[in-house]
Every structure is written in C-alpha cells, then in structure tokens.
Amino acid sequence: MNHPQNSRVRQILSNHGYNPLDIKDILQIGGGFNNEIFELSVNNRRLVIKIYPQKNDAQSRKIKEATFIDSCSKNKIKAVPIIADVLEGSNAILFEKIEGKTIVPSELKPVHIDQMKTFLTDLGALETANYNDDGSQIFATDFSFTREEFINNFNVRVKNLKFLTKKYDPNSIIRTRLPDIEKLSKQLIRDLNKSKSIVFRNENNPKNFERFISPSDFGLHNSLIDKTGTINFIDFEYAGIDDPANLILDTFINTDAGLPSTLLDEFIILFHNYDGLREKIELLSPLFGLKWVCIVLKRCFFIGNLQTRDSFYGEHGGEIVKENVEKLDLLFEKCRKAKIFDIK
C-alpha cells in the first residue's frame, strides 16, 4: 500500500526530473509541527528529504536552511548536512543521509561539548556582512537585538496562544494557564523596562560583535553522532544573523537541547568580545523562560487536540503531552522565582 505522504515525496521529486521508479524505500523518520522528514533511496543512494510546512513562511525556512549550510560549506565548516538537491521552486530540500544517532543527555561527554563549542566558535568567526551571496541580511526567525524586540517576540507568542483558544477548544490546556502567564509576563516586562543596565545602552545600533550567524535551534536534539564520535548538526530552518544572547538562552532553557546549566559559562565565554553578555542573559532569562512555557504549551495543545497526534506521534501523543505539561509547569515556577538556571 502506497501511503499518501509517500506519493507526495514521489511527486516532489518527479517534478524535478527524478524517475519515480528509481525512488524506493520511503520512510518517515521525523516531523510534527515544523516539517516532515523522510529517508529514501534513489538509484541505491541513501538520501533524506525535508518538507517544510505549507505555510507562508515555508520558502523563508527553506532559504534560511539552505543559506546557512551553503555558508558553512564555503567556509569549510563540515559539521552540517550536504545538500544533494535544493529542489528549486518546491518547499523541500534533498540531503545526503547522515549516518548517526541523536545524543541523549545521559551520554553527553566532554568531547561532545568540545565539538559543540567548536561549531559555535567557527560560526562566530564568520563575517555577518558576507553571509548571503547577494549581500542581503538574512536574520534568524526570532532575531532580537534590542529590549523592545525581545519583548515583542514574547508578546507574539502570547497572541498566538490566545488565537488558538478562540479558534479551537475553549477549555483547552492553554486557557487554564494563560491568565497566569499574562500576569507574570506583565511583571517581568515591567522589570525589564526599568533596568538601567549598560547592556541596554545604544541598543538600537548593535556592534558587530553583538551579531553572529546563529544556527538557532541548537542542542543535542539536533545533533547526530556517528560511529567515530564525530557530531553533525542539523535543522537550520530558523538560522540566520542574531544576538548570541538569543542562542544561548534558547539552548539552555529548551529542555530538548539537553545541555545542563552548569555549562552556561563555558558557552558564554565563546563570545568573549561581547561585553556584558552574561548580564544580558541573566536579565532576559525570566522572560525567555516564559517564552519557552508558551512554546511547550502550544506543542501540548497541538499534540493533544489536532491531527498531529494521529500522524507522526500516533498512540504516544497522550504520554508526550503529559511529559511536556510537567516540563512547562516546572519552568513556569522557575520564571516566577526569576531563577531559571540552577547555578550561582
């Protein structure tokens, strides 16, 4: 039986000159909210196709990923996938298959951490002005440099949650938690706006060292380690020019990333030219924590209420929701105490 998703993969590739008879062994290996990923064989060549969602930003995600990988390739940064075919005009990219497995936090070793730090150091050495061939500035999806931008990005998350409660289930998991989120966010935003910290001076004109080419969704969850112990990093559909504070906060607050907060200073020091980076991270961390409460809450809503539960997640949807609810409730409590990282 030919699954409808497999037919879609064949259609995309046949539209780009691939013989449908040469496309075999299609298997979905990832996907959910942001994309769908399939492993397949074309003329006995193992490949992976990533299909971006049919949304207004599908091309934007594809462009961000392709531009990031192309920049890494041109600058001899090898720890990223190889693009086999950019599939122009489609909402997909074809990659060479990377042999490897995801690292789980319990298996994290110093050699893995060193490779992660080397990757970010190599990216930090690149000139943002030369990031794209045509000279245009491709920013990360949630890029933020100023206090206002950080706050606006958070408010968009809250607005999206409100929309979901109105459009779908009014008794959803979101509605029961949204009032507390809004109440706490007002306090955190008020405190942030009152800050006289030097890190917010001249923030409308960020210096060059306050920008770098960010992979964005970075961590163990988007890392594949091969048999030799070499790590390849994947999933760059949100990548682009950003403030290092954004990347570090997201990486250490996102529980999927798998990095313990005890490593925070090791990653901050990678950006040693960025005066006040640690202070900026400390000031922004409660609001960033609340941002991740919103992200996980939206994830729970979609798995628990919509068709995603019945596609890739299958019968495990309920368990995933329960696990994520526990995560977001714990994180919310940390935000309330303004103590996001378990370090001194």
- Residue range 211-246, pLDDT digits in tens: 899 999 999 999 999 999 999 999 999 999 999 999
Residue 151: per-residue pLDDT: 96
Domain final residue, candidates 77, 96, 115: 96
Tell me, yes or no, whether 84 and 111 share the same domain: no
CATH of the domain at 183: 3.90.1200.10
Tell me, yes or no, whether 113 and 253 share the same domain: yes
Tell me, yes or no, whether 213 and 135 share the same domain: yes
Q: Is the model's pLDDT at 344 over the cut of 60?
A: no
Tell me: the pLDDT tens digits for 86-96?
999 999 999 99
> For residue 167, is it within any domain?
yes
Q: Is the model's pLDDT at 317 over the cut of 80?
A: no
Domain final residue, candidates 96, 122, 155: 96
3-state SS assignment for residue 215: coil
Task: Work out the pLDDT band at 165, boundaries 50, 70, 90.
Answer: confident
Tell me, yes or no, whether 25 and 123 share the same domain: no
Computed over every residue of the chain, the mean pLDDT equals: 88
Between 145 and 308, residue with greater pLDDT: 145
d(CA 96, CA 83): 6
Give me the number of domains the chain comprises.
2
Share of the chain above pLDDT 90, in %: 65
Tell me, yes or no, whether 113 and 206 share the same domain: yes
d(CA 244, CA 271): 8
DSSP structure string for 241-260: EE-HHHHHHHHHH-GGG---
Q: Is the model's pLDDT at 316 over the cut of 60?
A: no
Contact residues for 2 (Cβ-Cβ < 8 A; gap 6+): none
Q: Is the model's pLDDT at 4 over the cut of 70?
A: no
Residue 135: per-residue pLDDT: 66
Q: Across residues 305-326, what is the average pLDDT?
A: 63
Tell me, yes or no, whether 134 and 177 share the same domain: yes
Tell me: the pLDDT tens digits for 36-70?
999 999 998 999 999 998 766 767 999 999 999 99
Domain final residue, candidates 73, 96, 119: 96
Domain containing residue 105: 101-336
> For residue 54, is it within any domain?
yes
